[in-house]
């Protein structure tokens, strides 16, 4: 004689899971959120305390010379600041190179290493949106790093009662140069960082490209301009380093004194420097987009 099976005694417990009923971000909103998150991460905000040491330490290194120059300007006076605004980025390029070498892998390489890209793309955001958000955040971080000391120099000049109109023009010129430095260095560094999932490799590669290219170019310029007596040819050599490339644009566009042994030749050469800078950014952006189209999820 068969016996009827007992009714199931299992119990479904409510452990707190529930659906999301709030507003969902659009593609643009997600891109903006990714931009903000990346920018905060570049300066170490939202990360462990030790992650803030390098970016904030380099920010202090960038500000200290500007503070000293501003104090000297107030004490000594004169008609101009001891250091032209447009030369500040070239003088502090070591700190800038280290900053972008650390920031670019933080923004890009870690997502490749920990395979977090699929999490971003699980929402209505495209790969090109990811690239644009990362480049925009890195560019913004670099611009803040370079522009902040310029504002300190400007305030020092005003406190020293230098001509306000002249100093304002100098500041705007330097900010234009800072923007170009930020765009070029961010595009190049982000591309290099996107080629490796190892943060250390990315840092080493970026520093190598920036430091060695400048060292080689400036040495060749000095040899050609001073030893061979050919400043025109020496000026063209500046096209082959990101730092001297942007400095050449500043010399041409703003009439600034070159920070290298030779600036771009007179005439239309400065326009060539600007065109090459734009081309470098465009090619880096295009290469980075192609790179992320091939990244496996």
Q: What is the mean pLDDT of residues 247-253?
A: 94
Cβ(85)–Cβ(69) below 8 Å: no
Find tokens 């330097």 and name the residue. Answer: 174
Quick one: pLDDT at residue 51?
A: 86
- In which region does residue 81 sit, left (phi positive, over 0), alpha (psi from -120 to 50) or beta (all else)? beta
- Apex 191 CA angle, 190 and 192, nearest 5: 90
Note the pLDDT tens digit of each residue in 66-82.
999 999 999 987 778 99
Distance between CA atoms of 6 and 8, rounded to whole angstroms? 6
Q: With 60 as the cut, is the pLDDT of residue 2 above it?
A: no
Q: What is the pLDDT of residues 101-148, one digit of tens each?
A: 999 999 999 888 888 888 877 778 889 999 999 999 999 999 999 999
pLDDT at 97: 97
pTM score, whole prediction? 0.90
Q: What is the DSSP letter of 265?
A: P
Q: Where are the domains of the chain?
A: 27-294
Strand, coil or helix: 22:
coil
DSSP 281: H
Residue pair 156/71 in contact (Cβ under 8 Å)? The answer is yes
Q: Fill in the DSSP letter of residue 87.
A: G
Q: How far is CA 208 from the centre of its chain?
A: 16
**Is the pLDDT reported for residue 174 higher than 70?**
yes
Predicted confidence (pLDDT) at residue 261 exceeds the cutoff of 90? no
Question: In terms of pLDDT, which residue wins out, 109 or 8?
Answer: 109
Collapsing DSSP states into helix, strand and coil, what is residue 89? helix
């Amino acid at each position: 004689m068969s016996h009827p099976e007992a009714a199931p005694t299992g119990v479904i417990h409510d452990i707190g899971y529930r659906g999301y009923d709030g507003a969902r971000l659009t593609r643009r909103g997600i891109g903006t959120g990714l931009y903000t998150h990346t920018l905060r991460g570049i300066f170490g905000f939202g990360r462990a305390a030790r992650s803030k040491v390098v970016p904030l330490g380099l920010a202090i290194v960038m500000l200290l010379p500007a503070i000293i120059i501003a104090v000297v300007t107030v004490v000594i006076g004169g008609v101009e600041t001891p250091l032209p605004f447009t030369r500040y980025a070239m003088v502090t390029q070591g700190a800038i190179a280290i900053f972008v070498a650390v920031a670019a892998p933080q923004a890009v390489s870690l997502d490749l290493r920990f395979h977090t890209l699929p999490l971003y793309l699980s929402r209505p955001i495209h790969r090109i949106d990811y690239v644009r958000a990362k480049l925009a955040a890195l560019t913004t971080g670099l611009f803040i790093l370079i522009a902040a000391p310029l504002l300190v120099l400007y305030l020092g000049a005003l406190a020293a009662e230098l001509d306000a109109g002249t100093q304002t023009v100098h500041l705007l010129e330097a900010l234009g140069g800072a923007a170009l430095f930020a765009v070029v260095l961010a595009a190049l560094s982000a591309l290099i960082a996107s080629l490796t999932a190892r943060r250390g490799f990315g840092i080493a590669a970026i520093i190598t490209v920036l430091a060695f290219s400048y060292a080689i170019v400036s040495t060749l310029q000095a040899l050609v301009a001073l030893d061979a007596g050919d400043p025109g040819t020496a000026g063209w050599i500046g096209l082959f380093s990101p730092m001297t490339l942007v400095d050449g644009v500043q010399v041409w566009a703003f009439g600034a004194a070159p920070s290298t042994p030779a600036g771009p030749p007179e005439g239309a050469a400065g326009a060539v420097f600007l065109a090459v800078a734009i081309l470098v950014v465009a090619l880096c952006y295009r290469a980075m987009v192609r790179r992320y189209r091939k990244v496996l999820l």
